Amino acid sequence: MSTQSQHCLVIGAGTVGASCAWHLRRAGFEVTLVDHESPGQTTSFGNCGCISPNQIIPFSYPGLSREIPRWLFDRLGPLFIRWRHLPGLAPWFWRFWRAATWDGVHHIAQAQTQLMRQVIEDFGEIADATGTRDLLREKGMINVYDTMEEFRHAQWKYDLMTEHGFEWEIIGPAELKIMVPELRLEKGIALYYPQWWHTVDPGLLTARIAESAFADGVNYVQDKVQAVEAGAAGVTVATESGKSLKADKLVVAAGAWSNRIARQIDGRSVPMTPKRGYHAQIGQPGIELEYPVTSSSRFFVITPMTGGLRIAGTAEFASLDAEPDYRRARVLLEHGKHYLPNLEIGEVSEWMGQRPMMADSLPVIGPSPRHSSVLYAFGHGHYGLTQGPTTGKIITRLALGQDPGTDLEPFRFDRF
């Protein structure tokens, strides 16, 4: 059967889903993209906009558990748990804690490196083909620690980055003053990551990738998926409005909502939870930045965007359908003011998104264990923007029956 006669359904119109649809169409498949929101309007809309290839360190590692109590009781801390939701979150936290071994850290870093070493080339390819280079900046990123002690405590992370071929360097006060004149860093240390890119509008970038796919013949159905059936003859998707969509192959790229679909296909879910992030975007900040600035002491990112300065971060754990708590966004403004004392805070918009966070920090990429017609592409956590185009290429190779070019063993759906 030629690709032209094969129909692929892609569920999810974030960066990963839009990239999958775009690559599949370029390979000759008939493609339908399905999502309840317009492309780029969920988690892809409000993230920090960074394409971050050196981020190979898992979020669970030895010693982290000693930090968590301090964060939880600090109003300005990076972590918040809605305690009434804890019973439902407990199994995920158990898996997350079990991943915190040195063997686990090295295994996960090696697996992430496979994807991350490809992301800049793959992003450049899709940007050139879709005419979205104007939304990308190849400036690198500046990371700060408030104290030298904090940096020394994290030195092992940089040793691991170096081991896997990712660049970073310490920059002195004079150079930092030239690069970010407005930044105040009294006793700490600043690092420069030259391989990072950023986008000045991640939602628009994702929407334009999708629009390019639509112009190339991809169909778009804005609807909520209700039921999925998979079998030897292909897949059938029923939507909330009553549509019945049939296809030869299905790609599940629905981010934090993907487990709801996976349970219908494989009869089980994976340890993934929404790790909710917030942003506060200042329309008239009174200052300009050329580089994104991230704080490894306070766990947030400041990114220059077309609409002003976006301050994004925090980790809030709650159920998928819980209402936002925008106090978390207002805390980010206080952190921004700490480093940028001349920051003018007026005209602020607030946002919350659901990062699809796997307990072992690795996405699910590959076929369903039960149905070869189903391919999974979800659970990228903080790196859906970064890894979206690379994931789209891998999924397309799998759909074509080709070697994916990546060892997908660490990313299997049934690895747990």
Reported as type and span, the H/E element at residue 17 is: helix 15-26
Dump pLDDT digits (tens) for 208-242: 999 999 999 999 999 999 999 999 889 999 999 99
Dump pLDDT digits (tens) for 248-262: 999 999 999 999 999
Q: What whole-number distance in Å separates Cα of residue 301 and Cα of residue 312? A: 5
CA distance to 23, 269, 273, 395, per residue, from 26 (Å): 5, 31, 32, 13
pTM of the model: 0.96
pLDDT(374) > 60:
yes
Dump pLDDT digits (tens) for 54-85: 999 999 999 998 888 888 878 778 889 998 99
For residues 1 and 190, the model is more confident at 190
Task: Tell the burial category of 339 from Cβ atoms under 10 Å away from its Cβ (0-12, 13-18, 19+).
Answer: buried
- Percent of residues, the chain, with pLDDT higher than 90: 91
Dump pLDDT digits (tens) for 183-194: 999 899 999 999
Q: Which of 97, 108, 18 is closest to 57 using CA atoms?
A: 108
Task: For residue 220, give both structure tokens.
Answer: 């778009």
Residue whose structure tokens are 């960074």: 50
DSSP summary character for residue 101: S
Residues 6+ apart with CB under 8 A from 404: 366, 394, 397, 398
Residue 376 in contact with residue 368, Cβ under 8 Å? Answer: yes
Predicted confidence at residue 3, as pLDDT, reads: 65
Map residue 416 onto helix, strand or coil.
coil
Domain boundaries, the chain: 65-101+136-196+273-356
Residue whose structure tokens are 């063993």: 409
Residues 6+ apart with CB under 8 A from 246: 7, 234, 235, 236, 237
Dump pLDDT digits (tens) for 95-136: 999 999 999 999 999 999 999 999 999 999 999 999 999 999
Do the bridges between strand 50-51 and strand 169-171 make them parallel or antiparallel, or are there none, so unpaired?
unpaired
Other C-beta atoms lying within 10 Å of the C-beta of residue 86: 12
Residue 296 in contact with residue 145, Cβ under 8 Å? Answer: yes
Do the bridges between strand 234-239 and strand 244-247 make them parallel or antiparallel, or are there none, so unpaired?
antiparallel
Predicted confidence at residue 75, as pLDDT, reads: 79
Do the bridges between strand 7-11 and strand 225-231 make them parallel or antiparallel, or are there none, so unpaired?
unpaired
Task: For residue 187, give both structure tokens.
Answer: 């006793």
Predicted confidence at residue 1, as pLDDT, reads: 45
Residues 6+ apart with CB under 8 A from 145: 151, 154, 188, 189, 191, 295, 296, 297
Total number of residues shown for the chain: 416
Q: What whole-number distance in Å separates Cα of residue 284 and Cα of residue 286? A: 6
Predicted confidence at residue 73, as pLDDT, reads: 79
Instruction: Say yes or no: domain 65-101+136-196+273-356 is CATH 3.10.180.10.
Output: no
Degrees (nearest 5) of the Cα angle 103, 106, 107? 85
Predicted confidence at residue 66, as pLDDT, reads: 85
Predicted confidence at residue 2, as pLDDT, reads: 60
Half-sphere exposure of 290 (CA within 13 A, CB side): 9
Task: For residue 259, give both structure tokens.
Answer: 């487990």
